[in-house]
Every structure is written in C-alpha cells, then in structure tokens.
Structure 1
Amino acid sequence: MTSTGDTRKETTVSTAAVGTADDSTFRALRTQLHEAATAFADGPGALEGLLLGLVDDVDRAVREPLEIFPVCHHSPASALAMARRLREKQPKVVYLELCEDMAPLLTELRNCRLPVAVQAFASKIDGFPADWAPLSVVAPITEASAEYQAIAYALDTPGVELVLVDRSSDHVYQWDERPTRAADPDAPETAEEEEAALHGDAVGVEIGDLRPRFAELEEHLLRHGKVRHWSEWWHQYVELPLSDGDYNTYRQVMLLIGSLFRRLAPGDTHRLKVDEDRERHMWTRMREHLTATGADPDDCLYVCGAFHAASRVEEFGVHGSDTFEISPRTATVWQHGLIPSSHTAIEAQFGLAGGSVSIAASLFAKNVRRTKVKPYRLAGQAGKTSTAKKRAAAPVPAGPADKLTGFLRRPPVLDRLDEEELLGWSVDIVRAARRNGYLASTADAIAVFETSILLAGMRDRAKPTPYDFQDAAVTCIEKDAVPGRRDVRRLVEIMMGGDRIGQVGYDALPPLARDVHDRLTPLNLPLQQRGVKRALLDIAGRPELGACSDVLWMLRHLLPHGAARPIMGERTLGERPIQESWDLALGTHQRALIELGYEGVSVEQVLEQRLRKAAYGAKATAADVLKAVEDATLYLNSRRLADELGAHALHVLAAERSVDGAPEVLRRVRRLLAYYRTSEPVLPGWIESFAKEGYAHYCTLLPMAFTDDDATVRQVAATLGFLFGMESLALSLGCDRTQLELAVAQSHPSDPARQALLWAARTHLGTLSRTELRERCDELLGNPLVLTAYPRYLSGFLHALEPVPGLTDFVVEAVSNAFGRLPDPVLLPWLPTLISTLRADGSELAPLLIREAGRVFPARLPALDGWIPPWREQPLPPAARPAASGPRGVALLAAHPATCDAAAALLGCDGGWTATDPGPRGAALLTRYPDTATAATALLTRI
C-alpha cells in the first residue's frame, strides 16, 4: 500500500516524464493525416489544416496540467468512464460545468428520486425586458450521467470540494438573445405531453451539448450511418465502441469529436461568442480558486462538455491569460430549488429523439452489470446508500499517449447477436401490445425477432440495436391502426426503461410546498405521489376539514388546471358548502407547486401578491380589479385587501373612456352588492362611492356609447343596466336623476338594435308610453322596407331585458306579432336570421322570454284555437254597453253603498246618498262614466 503523499509524488513524476515526450505524442498520427490530405485533396491545403488542427486541439487538451474530462450530455459511456476515473484518480477538487449559483442546491439531491432538475427562477426581474418574466433556468440530472457521478462522489467523499464554474443563471439571460419559449404547458392534451412539460418554458443548461452544428455534416453522418436521427447515430458509433475502451481512448476520442464539431460549426458569431465567453468564465473561475486555495492542479478534475474541452481561447489552461472580466449580475432576485424532471422532458427540451434517454439509462445499467464498475450514488437517495469508497492507494495517471491512431484504424467491432436478449424483447413487446388493445400473437413475436435481425443486417450491424428493434416492432405489430392511446413506438420506449419521472422529497421542498402538505394532512392521502387522488370532505361532520377546503380552493386558483379540481361543491360569496369532493394531482404538478414557493412562504401570501399584481397592472380594467376584490373576499376573507382594491377600482373606472367592460362590471358589482347587503350591517364605503361615481361616469359615456361603432349592443345594454340597477342607491347618495334623463335625451343611435334599446330606456324613464312603443313596432311590421331589419330591433329589445326586465311581456308580444302578421314568403327567409340573432346576442336572456311565453300561452294545444292574446283584448264600444244597472261593476257598487261612497271620494266626488235620489250618487256617476266604473272595479278587485 502507498500513502497519499507517495501517490501525489508518483503522479507528479509520471506527469513530468510524459511532458518530456509531448512533442512526439501524436507525431505518427499527424504524418498519416498529412499524407491522407495530400492524396485526397491533390496537395496540402484547407483539408490538411482541418485534420491537423483536430489533432492539435486534442494534444493541447491532453497536455493541460489540470486534467480535463470531456463528457456528452446524459451519455452512458461518459458516466461509466467518469465512475472509473474517479475511483482511479480520487481527485480532491472537482470543477463542474454548471451554473455557479446552483451549488447550494446540490446537497438536496439526497432527498430526491432522479431524474430531477436544478432550477433558478425569477418572477420579479430588474435589468431584463419585462415581457421575459418569469425567468427560469433548469439543469436536469439523471443517474446515467457523468455530472451526477461527479456530484455524488464529491458530496459523499470526505475532503473533496465541488466547485461549479459555469456562468450564473443571470448571465444565461445576459449573454443570450431572448430565448425561444416552448408552448404553454399548463394544458397538455395527453399524458406524454404532460410529462414533456415538466420543465415548463425554462431555458435548459446541459453539460456536453455534443451535436453537429453544421447541418450538412449531420445529414452526411446519418445517411452513411444508415440511421434515422442523431441519437441513434451516437448510440451506434460512439456509445457502444467507447463503453469497452480504456480511459485514455475515451478521453481523446471525445476531444476529437468536440474539436471536429467546433471547427465545422457555421458562422453564428453570437453563439460562438457565448460559447467562448463561457469557456473564459470557467477557466477564470478555476484559476481564481486554485490561487485562493493553493490546490495542486494534479489533484483536480475539470468536467465539461467535449465541445468546450477543445477550446482555443487565450484563457485556456491554468497558465492562460487573465484578460476576461466577468460582468456583474443584474438586480434580479433569483430563487433556487429542485423540480421533478423526466426522460421525456429532457428529450423535449434538448431536441433529443423520443426514448433516447430511456435507452441510454438502460444501456448504462447493462454496462454496469457487465463491467462490474460501481457507480456513485448519494447516500440516502431513494433508499440507496452511497457506494463511494475510501481513497485508492495508487491512482492510474491519465497519460497523453496516442490512443487515437489505434482507435481510428481499428475496424468496427461486430458484437455477436445476443439471441436471448432479443427474444426477451420480442416477447415483452407483444405482451405490452396485448395489454394496450393490439391483436398481437406469438407469430408477431417471431416476426419482430426476425425483422430486427433483418434490419440490422441491412444497416451493416451484426447485432440489432434498440432502434432496430423499435422499427421492427412498429412494422410487425402496429400495422395501420392504434387501438389505444399509446402506439408501439411508445410501448418500446416504456419497455426499454420507461419515462422515469423524478420526485423532489419533502425535505427538499420550499417552505410553501411543505406547508401545503402539512395543512392537507387531515385528508390522509399520499399527495406526493403522481396520479389523481380523490378527496371526500365532510365539512359538516368534521369541521377541521374546512381549513383543508380553504387551501384547496386557493390551490385551484393558483395552480394549473387539474392540480386541484372540485367534483362536488362550489364556493360563492356568502355560502359555504357542507360537503365537497376533489380530484387532487399535486404530485403530478409538483413543479408548479414548487414554483409557488419562489413567490412566498404561504399560499395566502402568494394569492394576495397575485391579486395585487392583477389589480395594479398597467392593462388592468375596472372589471379586473372587481374580480380581484371578489377573489380576496372569496378565498382570503380579507376585508382589508377588499377595501383597498375596491378603492383602486374606482380610480380605474374613472380613467376608462369606453363601455367595453360594462357587462363584467355590472355582473360583479351586482354580486358584491348583494353579498354586502346580506352579510354586513352597512355597505363598505368603497362600494357606495363606486355606485355614486359609476352612475355619473356611465351617464357621461352613454350618448357616445349609443353611437360608437366599436361598442356592442350588449355593452350599451350593460351600461343602462348599471344606471338603472344602481339608480336607487346612487340617488340616495346624492346623485341627480336629471343627469340620466339628459344622457338618454342626447342619445341618437342609427342602428336598429340600439334604437330599440333606446326606446326601452325611454319607456323605463316614462318619456315613452307602452302604447306609443307598441305603435312604433306595428309601424315597423307594416313597412316592407324595414322588415329585413326587424330581427335587429328584436335583438335590441332582447338586450333591453338586462336594464328593463319589466319589458319581458312586451318582447313576447313583439315576437308573436311578427309570427302572426307576416306571411310565410316574408317570414321564412328571415327566420334563420332571427334565430341566429337571438342565439348569438341573447343566449343569457332567452330564459326570461321562455318563462313569460309559458305564462301567457295556453298549456294545451286544443286551447290554442280559441285563445286570444291578452294584448289584443279591447273594451266594448259605448253603444254596445248595457244600461247603468247592467254592468257588473255598477250593480256591485249599488249593492254596497258604503263602498260606492269610498270609491266616489277616491275619485274626487263630493256628496253622499240621499233618499230622494233614484240611486246612489256614486253609482249614478259611475253609470255616466262606464270606463271609470271598470277601472274602479279593477282597483277594488286588487285591494
């Protein structure tokens, strides 16, 4: 055994010995490439410079005293090589390409189940355009990744320091142009889309974005590799060969690929500058740390993407220049946390092929079993214990010996067919297909087995890859129909490892999320698990569940649709249900719940902040502010906040110059006014002021609204509804009704619907009688020139039911007269227009007409033949009336003299009964005026 000090000494000597032979390390490879370039290009030139430049990049990175470990994002070969190298070298400092401000979160990975993503979130921004908010940066971590191996090793090995050296989350937005946002993830249509939306619209940061940026190069590789997409090419030509290679071979090959993709990148100057700034930033941070701590570069390991490992910036290396100045961060306050991730989310965010991350995880597990390499896992993570060991005695140095020559000249290794594995795949996919509705049989399993071998042979492969097997399964099983919600390609992805979805543990949740789970504990449901849980709340029998109901209603308001969905029960102003039923999916929407924790420490605080933001926003309308008032009363039961927002609603209403929001304002004011009248001894001051000022405000806007082409009939009707509905309250507070009368008198609409609306308003104010209104409608029906516009008049009368509901019987009369008077050749052509008008403009008011029609019209069909509408009943002419003793009203008054005297006094007649009179004076008077007798009879009947 050798002590630690002897180990460092031996490493130093070995490195020094290698340094003496640096000049000849890749001499043989350079010579061969020079000869190949001369022969291929008929003389040295650009091709030679490219090929030799690749070797120079590899040579430079290999000779760097601070060992560079190039990786590819979520690569099983990178993870396996990392686990091997960490056990061999046992570095004391690990520099990792990850946002430097995310370092404090990494210890919380112990409380999570991978995959998860480290997130930086900012809802209140300062220094960026306002329309970028909220800002979100995520770095997903899976177990089959080199970065996780490095993190687990550093956190669970005593004496090892983990240093994150990449740009901060703030610099991600400083250096990049505005990121392209993904589609809204709040309403996914399928389970796969929901899983792909776990990262939301965050900007992804990954270690090892290794993919050709030259489209022609990628197309060339895919065509000659006989593969469909880049993930399949990488799996076939990089992952499989490097899984069995030694560390030096892996390192040099990855550096070569990174250099190739870097040199063949298109001329995107902005992206190239961002890449180079990241490299300058990382090397500057590493040199600062080495200077501050005095660490030996031989005891350090730098983990970065292969693209950045082949860097050519002046700041490269421990002896590079210190000319890069890191810009200060903006004043934006960033919140950090862990959110759940999934294989599908990683593939969607980073443009990988579907199922590629699951296949990579399956390949990593297979390589671990095959090579007996022990990967690192954080202690306590998902019930696992760390496999980190004590420091090895004699680490194997990573010398710069030429491994590229042998690797590049070696023919492809033909893996022998593992028939047992392929047969197991074939049986499993048929079993999964049957469970999902496919009519698959044993014959299909045999066909999938043989087709997989056939496809692999056509693609020059001795062993079918998972992608070959996937194509074979689709061909043999799916055919032309998908009976279930999952197709065969998706079933293969699930079978190969599935879309593993991570979970953030309770201890790693922000305080708000932990508080939510604590307050919902009485429900006795595993709410941290994914899926829908049904909660039954018997609030009457268990009053303590009322607090759970309050939390659930607030979560329904704050979280995306489906996180908390009420099945039974509702919350309205002034009412509390005694029973409720909920479908809860807090585990599925864990990311949204965690992001709420970035905004406050309780759901009440977050809800109040959002209500204030909605009410005080630059585009907030009076209706929006009133909605915030209603929500503050409904969910928070906060009279203080409601009064504050209500006072603000008055200022917003005064600034509006149109009646666009009048329908919503009317609806919410009516509801709030009804609530306060039944629950409060006196009305709040703000709502009295709102009624008073709103009355004057809408009186001012009414004449303009009647003639404004942008205002709809519904909006004008809502304006009148506010004025007529708030009239009694406004007049009691000091308003003058003359203002309303003048506003109506100054209104001169030309549109038929608005003209009818104005007639209804004048009828309500008493300036237009019903008789005059009926005569105008009769004139419209009698004028052939305006018959086509009659449905629009009816639309106006229908909307008039909002401010003047007393006209319901008249609207029924107007419609009935149209159907009764117009002949079929006139009626039938505009009947569809009438129906569409009523449906489009009066769907909310149509029930009023239906109820009134049901009251007026006979209930049975035979009674319809002799039925006379009440508006057609006419009094008898004077000649046809009987004598004084004939009418029932006169006889009734004569039989009751006292009543007759009372009626006479009511009508202003003096005198009384006398014996000489042939009859009561009142009766004689009524006999001379039969119309008055009829009216008096009706009056007495009502009394």
Structure 2
Amino acid sequence: MSTFDPLREQLSQAAREFGGDTVSGILSGMVDDVDRALREELEIFPVCHHSPASALAMVRRLREKQPKVIYLELCEDLQPLLTELRNCRLPVAVQAFATDLDGFPKSWAPLSVVAPITEASAEYQAISYALETPGVELVLVDRSTDHVFQWAPKEEDPPYAPKEEDAGLHGDAVGVEIGDLRPRFAELEEHLLHHGKVRHWSEWWDQYVEQPLSGADYDTYRQVMVLIGSLFRRLDRDGRRQAVDEDRERYMWTRMREHLSASGADPADCLYVCGAFHAASHVEQFGLRSTAPFEITPRTDTKWLYGLIPSSHSAIEAQFGLASGSVSIAAATWAKAVARSGLTPFQLAGQKGTRKRVSKLPAGARPKAEIAPADKLTGFLSRPPALDELDQSELLGWCVDIVRLARRNGYLASTADAIAVFETSILLAGMRNRARPTPYDFQDAAVTCIEKDVVPGRRDVRRLCEILLGGDRVGEVGYDALPPLARNVYDRLEPLGLDLSKRTIQRALLDLNAEPELVPCSDLLWMLRYLLPHDAVRPIMGERRLGERSIQESWDLSFGKHQRSIIELGYEGVTIEQVLEQRLRRKVWDPKATAAVALAAVEDAVLYLGSKRFADELGARAVELLASERSVDDAPEVLRRIRRLMAYYRASEPALPAWCEEFATAGYAHYCTLLPTAFVDDDTGVRQVAAMLGFLFSMESLALALGCDRAQLELAVRQSHPESPAKVAVLWAARTQLGLLTQAELRARCDELLANPLVVPSFPQYIMGFVQAMEPVPALSGFVVEVISKAFGRLPDNVLLPWMPKLITTLRDQAGELMPALVREAGRTFPGSLAAVDAWTPPWSARPAPPKAASATVAPGPVTELLLGHPATCDAVAALLGCEGEWQAPAAAGAEHQAARALLAEHPEPALAVAALLA
C-alpha cells in the first residue's frame, strides 16, 4: 500500500462529485507524480527560482543531509564560471556568448544565454555549499548552451523575441531559469489570480505558496512543490515547449547516470536540484533504474565564449515576466526569514556585498538517518494556512519611510498620509483574506493614499515602495573575474584617477597639453565611445575629426552601469584595438555593405586606429564596392566622405594613397555610365543626380590626370534627356559648367519660363533643381540668387505662397550644407541697409547707357598735363599690360580723358585690379 493512497482516494472522491472523470484523472495523476518523485532512489530537491522558501529549505536540507554530490539543473558548460562568483557582488549572471556561428542560421547572431543568480535562491546555496565544503562535487547536468539553440526551431528569426523594454542588463539574451514555476495554462492563471484577489502571478505565489512553505518541514515542502509542478505540467498545452522540456529531462537523467557510473558515487549521498516542473517528469529515462537510452547529439562548431555579467532585480523581472519589485520583495523576505529562523546560509568566501556568515558545516557533523517520507499533503491541503499576526512595528516603519521618500521626490505627503497608508494596508489585507498585510498590499495602499492623480517626479510611488523594500539591487563583476580586455580597459584608464566601478556618472577632465601622458587615455575613450552605448562614454568638450585633435577634453563616464557591454567586448578580442578592427572589417565585408559604408570605415580607422595599412585595405574594398554598385542612392554620402578624406590626405600626406586614385578613376567611369539613366529614372532623386555630377566635376582634374577621358563626361551629359523640371535645371547647370551653354543663354531660358503661363506653376521645381545644382557647380550661386529673386518678384501669389513652405523644408532637409554659400552670395548681392534698398538696382537688370562725351574740345586738365609731361610712367604700365598705342594731341586727349573718366566711374573694377597688381 502506497503512502499516498488515502489522499488519492480522497481527491478522487471529491473530483467525482464536482468535476467528473477528467478532473479525477488529473488529481489522482498529481498524487502519483508526488509518490513517484519521492520514491526515487536519487533524492530530488524541487525548487522555484528566486524563492526564499526554496532557499531556506535548501539550507536546512544541506545541513541535515550533507550530500557528497550535487546535481544542478544548469547548462553543463557554465560550470567553470561558478568559482568566479566569489569575486562578484550579487546579483550577477553567468553568460555564454557567440558571434561566429557554425551550424545555426546567420540571422540568429549574436547568440547569448544568461543564468541570473541571487543570494535568495536555492541554487546559490547549493553552489556555495559545494564550493566551500571539502569533498563535495558539484555537477551541472542540464543541456549545454549549444543544445539550447540546437533544439530551437530553425526559423529565420532567433528563438527569442527582443523587446524594447528588455534593453537592460540582460539585453535580448535567452534566460536559463532553474525552477520555472509559472502556469502555462492561461485560463488556470487567470482563475488563480481572480479568486486569490491578486494582480500578478508573483503576488499569488508569495501569498499561497511562499509564505506557507517558509516555515514548513522538508517533507511537506517537497511534496507541495512536486504537486504544484505536476499540476502545471498536466495543464500545459504548449506541445513544442513541452517536447523541449522532456528532452532536457532525458538529457539530465542520462548525464546523472553517466556520472554515477563513472565516479562510483553512492546515490544516497547525492542530491538532484531541479525545477519542480521537472521533478514531476513522465519521460521513460526518469530514475536511476531506467535503462531507456537517449542519444545526446554532438555540439556544433560554434565557438562559445563564457563570462560573468552584472545583473539586477529589475533585469530578472523583465526577462522572466515577474511582477515589478517581486525579486526585491523576495530578497527582503529572505533576509527577514533568515533572521527569524536563526539559520546560517551558505556563502562563498570573499563574496562582496553580503553579510559575513560562517557557512561551513561544523567539524565532525554526521548526517541524520534517512526517514521514509510520510504523507504531509493531506494535512497541508485540508487545513487553511496559518496566518501570521500583524507585525505592527514593521508596517508602521514602512508607512513612515514611504512618506519620507515621497516628500524627497516631490510629493506633498504628510503624517496624515502615513496614517492613511497604515489603515488602508490593513483594510486591503482584510478584503483579501489576509491577517497580515503583504508588501503588495502596502504598495497598493501607498499608491492610493499618496500618489493621487499627479506624479511630480520621475519616480512614482510604486517605484518608491520597491526602493523602500529593498530596491533594484544591481550586481557587479569583480576585477579578477573580468575578461582580459575589460581588465586592460580599467588598467589603461587608471591615470584618470577615477573609480570606474561606480554606477554614478563621473566627470573626467583631460588637459592634453599640460598632461601629455593622458593622450593614450583620450585615444582609448574615443574608441570606447565608438564601441559602447553612447551614454556609457559621452564627450562633453572636445571632438575628433580628420586632421583635428582637441587640446582639452571633458568626458562623462558611466562604466559601472554599462559593465555588461564592456565584458561582452572581451568576447570579441583581447584588446580594444583588435575589437574595433574586427568590427570595421566585418562591416565592410558584409554582403549588404556599400561604398559609403566602406568610406565611413576608412574614416573611423584613421580617426581611432591610425593604421595606414588597415585604412588602405578598407579603401581598396571601397573601390570594389563602388564599381559593383548598380544604384546611386548613396552618391551624396560618397561625395561628402571622399572629399573629406582626400582633403585630409592632401594636407597630411606627401601623396594620395593608391586607393584614392583608383576610387577617383573608378567613380568617374562609374558615374559617367550611370548618369543618363539616373536623369530619367523616377526612383533617383535630384539630390543623387547632383551628387553624381559633383563627384564628376570635383574629381575631374585628378581623373583626367590618371588617364580618364573628358569626352566620356560630355557624351554622358549630351545623352541625358530628363523630363522632371528639377532634373532639367540640374542638366542645364551641368551643360553650363562644361561650356556647352553660356550663362546668358541660361538666363534667357529662365526668363522664357517665367514668361510662359503654362510653365509658371512648375517653375518652383526648376528653382529646387538650381539649388541642388550648386553642389556640382558652386559658381552658380549668384545665378541661383538671381533666379529666386526673379521668382519672388514675378510669380503670382497662388503659385508662390503654397510653394514657400515646401521650399523651406526642402532646403533644410536636402540642401542644408549648401545654404551658407547661398546666404553669403545673397549678402553680397543685396544692399546692407534698409535705406539703400530704394536706390538699389539689381545687377541682373538693364543698366542705363553711359553719357556721351561732349563734342566740344575740352581743355586738358592737370592729370592730362601731368601724364603728357611724364610719359615714361604710362609707357611702362602699357608695356606691363601688353598694350600698344600712340600719344595724342592735348585736345583729343582731353575729350578721351572725359570718356575714360565716365567709363572708369561706371566700371571701377579694372582700375582697382590694376592698382592691386602694381601694389
């Protein structure tokens, strides 16, 4: 007769009365699962992740049983990392990371698996006991991280869905959780939350499982946990996930049997720690006496990298769908339960951020004799849970502290609010059938009484309650547990004299002239700025451009907050320079890379690495990409970057690199070939066409010197026949630049367009084309000012007014870099004062004819007499200018002198030019 036969019969009778055979089968099956798990030769310890009740039960059981081998449900290849936990401040997460995939879809990269560990967890107590107790072996038996993704469906998307809100310490990594005890049957969860009068599963678990089991004996704990795991397992309807879980269970039992066979360990001295869901397993490999085989597939050739990353309570909650603040509440519950029970938890020696406790077993301790488990479920299920008495002092302390925190954060809270929170907490607990208000009741009461309808600061009252009850504790990976790259970063930044482990923002001031030894720190910070999130390393003063270096810099550093990002850089290389080079090389050899991307990589290589060899390698790749492109969408970016790079090389190098010359010739031929098609293609914008012409005209002299033929450009322009008004204007500008169209002819064409009523509505598009044409033909800026002025003066209001907003937005979005030249030209053209506007005549308007010279003979003036008296000076100037002539009689000279004066008064520029020439 089984120990649980009376309970099975009792549940079956109740099920037949209320639910029929289906419910009876489920309930009796649950009892069978409990009986099977507890009768197993290898002791199974069912847990729930981050559960103080599980941690307390683990401490009690380890001190009582003192096992020699602990099998732990955790990825087996993470085991070498566990010894590094003593160099960290919990919570942290062990991580496996892979960027170069072999055997998985490339779209999944990078792959990441994390397993967070907190002090209030059963697995941490087991790890601490095993690592600190001599003669105890810890064996991780769950599937490897490689198998985590091997068993995932081979779809285009990775086997997880990155979320915007998950961009925290864990990012989009796959979470490996021991003891996932959340019902996968939505209707059941909704039913439990409704009848439990709670909002979230975490609150239900705390009220109906966590609190009753905190003080329960070991047999009751095991039976209840297996029973819950069996219930959730039998109601699970996700067949695909259940199949993966069953494979995990086959994997773990296979590994445990292999270890026992190889080590010869006694199963009575072993303990198997797994989630309660897996404790109620139905697979045929369950148990040590099973002989059912299971073939474990080999790992792929993917190279996995391992390390520790900082974690936090909020990161764990976000990744595993827990209620906000639940992990903090669990930590507070753990601390209180430890103090109340008098237990001494296990702890790794040298562990940071935890209370120093004596966690070793007393010398000479002997495990107690094992006693066959009795039926504790009947009593546990048949009587209501014992309700804790109201801890008035604890609740009063919470109420006073939350009012103090609220006032610091801008709330107009008072003593009356503290009293209201106290009474409301008791009221809510009573409405929910609780004798003692839980932290969740307290949160609801505080929000009701303090927050009102306004949130004055960035922290609401619910967040303040979480801070009060334990806060979002953030872990830290110690220096000794960091990868070599991260340690190298900290070492190289040591001259700054800052504590980079702090999570606060720190200001670094660098005077590179007075302290040249800080130049390497500046170089490293700029590289980190490129590789890390922007709020991790943020320049306040100083910049780095081609050919420019700051003499003083100011930085805001937040390394402690972004320690995970620095650690993950260590998975890519040994030094920052190596990682940056790999990133740039991977970027330009990506199948989707373009010439613009490669030129950006060249610029970054020059700025941050200073490697001429590497920059030349990336530049050669840019030439290849440009020659293979069939689109000109990136032409503006290509033009901007190649101009900047060539200006830098001309200023700093004796000659242009070979790849720059190849880029000029390849681009000249490439854009000449695509130009006629781009002019007529509706998908190619005006800006792209103008950028193509800008490349051709600005690189023309270099390209012709290297062997290109100018006839190719002229032929491409002659073969272009656009229909769009904007592109027609760009074509006219190009023809003007090539000498195929004079500026007088261009002005005449624009005047004809303005005079044609049929064309007037589309004339603004011509103007937009002329503005874009300033990119390839900068000398056209004066003509553009003339065209815009004429348009403003002649276009009717029904055309001009609707077009002006579009003109402004287009100039801002597409021609922002051209506006300074346009504004300067307008400043030179228009008068500088309001009073001069009335007398101002536009330079493009018709000029009055110069006055005719008087027919009467004019007596020579003093200037004429001076010139006639000293002709040598005039002869020297004439010879210098290459002019020939003869001296005339004074009367004729006087008449011509008057005409010359009138001519010089109207056109003073030649005289000024001669004066400047003669200095």
Which bin holds the TM-score, normalised by the shorter protein? over 0.9
Match of 1:683 among 656, 662, 679: 656
Match of 1:348 among 318, 328, 332: 318
CA drift at 1:357: 0.6
Counterpart-to-counterpart distance in 2, 1:324 and 1:243: 37
Counterpart-to-counterpart distance in 2, 1:892 and 1:568: 67
Q: Deviations over 1:273-322 (max 9, x none)?
A: 10100000000000000000000000000000000001011100111124
> What secondary structure does 1:619 align onto?
coil
Q: Deviations over 1:615-647 (max 9, x none)?
A: 111000001001111111110000010011111
Match of 2:172 among 201, 208, 213: 201
Identify the residue that residue 139 of structure 1 maps to in structure 2: 115
The reply on whether 1:112 has 2:83 as its aligned counterpart is no
Deviates more, 1:298-307 or 1:861-870: 861-870
Specify whether residues 242 and 128 from structure 1 end up closer, same or farther in structure 2 by C-alpha distance, changes over 3 A only.
same
Specify whether residues 860 and 918 from structure 1 end up closer, same or farther in structure 2 by C-alpha distance, changes over 3 A only.
closer
Identify the residue that residue 838 of structure 1 maps to in structure 2: 811
Match of 1:818 among 780, 791, 809: 791
Specify whether residues 226 and 883 from structure 1 end up closer, same or farther in structure 2 by C-alpha distance, changes over 3 A only.
same
Counterpart-to-counterpart distance in 1, 2:866 and 2:705: 43
> What secondary structure does 2:544 align onto?
coil
Match of 2:203 among 232, 236, 242: 232
Specify whether residues 280 and 644 from structure 1 end up closer, same or farther in structure 2 by C-alpha distance, changes over 3 A only.
same
Counterpart-to-counterpart distance in 1, 2:142 and 2:179: 12
The reply on whether 1:300 has 2:270 as its aligned counterpart is yes
Match of 1:379 among 325, 349, 352: 349
CA drift at 1:49: 1.9
Specify whether residues 920 and 505 from structure 1 end up closer, same or farther in structure 2 by C-alpha distance, changes over 3 A only.
same
Q: Deviations over 1:557-580 (max 9, x none)?
A: 000111100000001111211110
The reply on whether 1:388 has 2:364 as its aligned counterpart is no
The reply on whether 1:55 has 2:28 as its aligned counterpart is no
CA drift at 1:743: 1.2
Deviates more, 1:129-138 or 1:894-903: 894-903
Counterpart-to-counterpart distance in 1, 2:810 and 2:8: 83
Matches for 1:1-150 after TM superposition, within 5 Å = 23-41=1-19, 45-150=21-126
Q: How many residues align?
A: 906
Identify the residue that residue 180 of structure 1 maps to in structure 2: 160
Specify whether residues 598 and 825 from structure 1 end up closer, same or farther in structure 2 by C-alpha distance, changes over 3 A only.
closer
What is the identity, as a one-letter code, of the residue corresponding to 2:403?
V
What is the identity, as a one-letter code, of the residue corresponding to 1:629?
V
Match of 1:499 among 472, 478, 487: 472
Counterpart-to-counterpart distance in 2, 1:147 and 1:235: 19
Counterpart-to-counterpart distance in 1, 2:397 and 2:69: 44
Match of 2:707 among 705, 718, 734: 734
> What secondary structure does 1:428 align onto?
helix
Match of 1:404 among 374, 377, 380: 377
> What secondary structure does 2:812 align onto?
helix
Instruction: Verify the 8 A CA contact 1:76 1:363 in the aligned structure 2.
Output: yes
Counterpart-to-counterpart distance in 2, 1:398 and 1:870: 110
Specify whether residues 257 and 396 from structure 1 end up closer, same or farther in structure 2 by C-alpha distance, changes over 3 A only.
farther
CA drift at 1:51: 1.5
Identify the residue that residue 187 of structure 2 maps to in structure 1: 216
Matches for 1:474-873 after TM superposition, within 5 Å = 474-822=447-795, 824=797, 827-872=800-845
CA drift at 1:799: 1.0
Counterpart-to-counterpart distance in 1, 2:871 and 2:396: 112
> What secondary structure does 2:272 align onto?
strand
Identify the residue that residue 188 of structure 1 maps to in structure 2: none
Matches for 1:447-462 after TM superposition, within 5 Å = 447-462=420-435
Counterpart-to-counterpart distance in 1, 2:58 and 2:321: 24
The reply on whether 1:331 has 2:301 as its aligned counterpart is yes
CA drift at 1:740: 1.2
Counterpart-to-counterpart distance in 1, 2:290 and 2:866: 120
Q: Deviations over 1:573-632 (max 9, x none)?
A: 112111100000111000010000000000000000000001111000001001111111
Structure 1: runs of 5+ lacking an equivalent: 1-22, 186-192
What is the identity, as a one-letter code, of the residue corresponding to 2:260?
L
Counterpart-to-counterpart distance in 2, 1:715 and 1:770: 24
Counterpart-to-counterpart distance in 2, 1:651 and 1:162: 55
Deviates more, 1:384-393 or 1:250-259: 384-393
Specify whether residues 233 and 876 from structure 1 end up closer, same or farther in structure 2 by C-alpha distance, changes over 3 A only.
same
Specify whether residues 829 and 106 from structure 1 end up closer, same or farther in structure 2 by C-alpha distance, changes over 3 A only.
closer
Identify the residue that residue 19 of structure 1 maps to in structure 2: none
Identify the residue that residue 139 of structure 2 maps to in structure 1: 163
> What secondary structure does 1:448 align onto?
helix
Q: Deviations over 1:180-205 (max 9, x none)?
A: 222357xxxxxxx7xx7100100000
CA RMSD of aligned residues (A): 2.7
> What secondary structure does 1:118 align onto?
strand
Instruction: Verify the 8 A CA contact 2:45 2:271 in the aligned structure 1.
Output: yes
> What secondary structure does 1:218 align onto?
helix
Q: Deviations over 1:502-532 (max 9, x none)?
A: 0000000000000000000000001111121
CA drift at 1:936: 7.5
Counterpart-to-counterpart distance in 1, 2:570 and 2:457: 38
Instruction: Verify the 8 A CA contact 1:97 1:305 in the aligned structure 2.
Output: yes
Specify whether residues 501 and 666 from structure 1 end up closer, same or farther in structure 2 by C-alpha distance, changes over 3 A only.
same
The reply on whether 1:244 has 2:224 as its aligned counterpart is no
CA drift at 1:822: 3.9
Q: Deviations over 1:532-565 (max 9, x none)?
A: 1100001111111000001000000000111100
> What secondary structure does 1:536 align onto?
strand
CA drift at 1:754: 1.0
Query: Please, what TM-score do these two structures have when normalized by structure 2?
Result: 0.94
What is the identity, as a one-letter code, of the residue corresponding to 1:548?
C
Instruction: Verify the 8 A CA contact 1:379 1:385 in the aligned structure 2.
Output: no
The reply on whether 1:424 has 2:397 as its aligned counterpart is yes
What is the identity, as a one-letter code, of the residue corresponding to 1:447?
A
Counterpart-to-counterpart distance in 2, 1:860 and 1:397: 103
Counterpart-to-counterpart distance in 1, 2:721 and 2:857: 53
CA drift at 1:817: 1.7
Instruction: Verify the 8 A CA contact 2:857 2:895 in the aligned structure 1.
Output: no
Counterpart-to-counterpart distance in 1, 2:492 and 2:887: 87
> What secondary structure does 2:299 align onto?
coil
Counterpart-to-counterpart distance in 2, 1:397 and 1:529: 49
Instruction: Verify the 8 A CA contact 1:380 1:386 in the aligned structure 2.
Output: no
Counterpart-to-counterpart distance in 2, 1:909 and 1:231: 101
Identify the residue that residue 190 of structure 1 maps to in structure 2: none
Specify whether residues 232 and 803 from structure 1 end up closer, same or farther in structure 2 by C-alpha distance, changes over 3 A only.
same
Counterpart-to-counterpart distance in 1, 2:113 and 2:596: 35
Specify whether residues 906 and 534 from structure 1 end up closer, same or farther in structure 2 by C-alpha distance, changes over 3 A only.
closer
What is the identity, as a one-letter code, of the residue corresponding to 1:354?
S
CA drift at 1:782: 1.2
Counterpart-to-counterpart distance in 2, 1:291 and 1:65: 15
Percent of aligned positions with the same letter in both sequences?
Answer: 70
Instruction: Verify the 8 A CA contact 1:893 1:899 in the aligned structure 2.
Output: no
Counterpart-to-counterpart distance in 1, 2:842 and 2:889: 46
Instruction: Verify the 8 A CA contact 2:309 2:477 in the aligned structure 1.
Output: yes
Specify whether residues 77 and 643 from structure 1 end up closer, same or farther in structure 2 by C-alpha distance, changes over 3 A only.
same
Counterpart-to-counterpart distance in 2, 1:230 and 1:831: 59
Instruction: Verify the 8 A CA contact 1:279 1:311 in the aligned structure 2.
Output: yes
> What secondary structure does 2:712 align onto?
helix
Instruction: Verify the 8 A CA contact 1:98 1:207 in the aligned structure 2.
Output: yes
The reply on whether 1:277 has 2:247 as its aligned counterpart is yes
CA drift at 1:913: 3.1
Specify whether residues 230 and 922 from structure 1 end up closer, same or farther in structure 2 by C-alpha distance, changes over 3 A only.
same
Counterpart-to-counterpart distance in 1, 2:241 and 2:574: 39
CA drift at 1:930: 8.7
What is the identity, as a one-letter code, of the residue corresponding to 2:551?
I
Query: Please, what TM-score do these two structures have when normalized by structure 1?
Result: 0.92
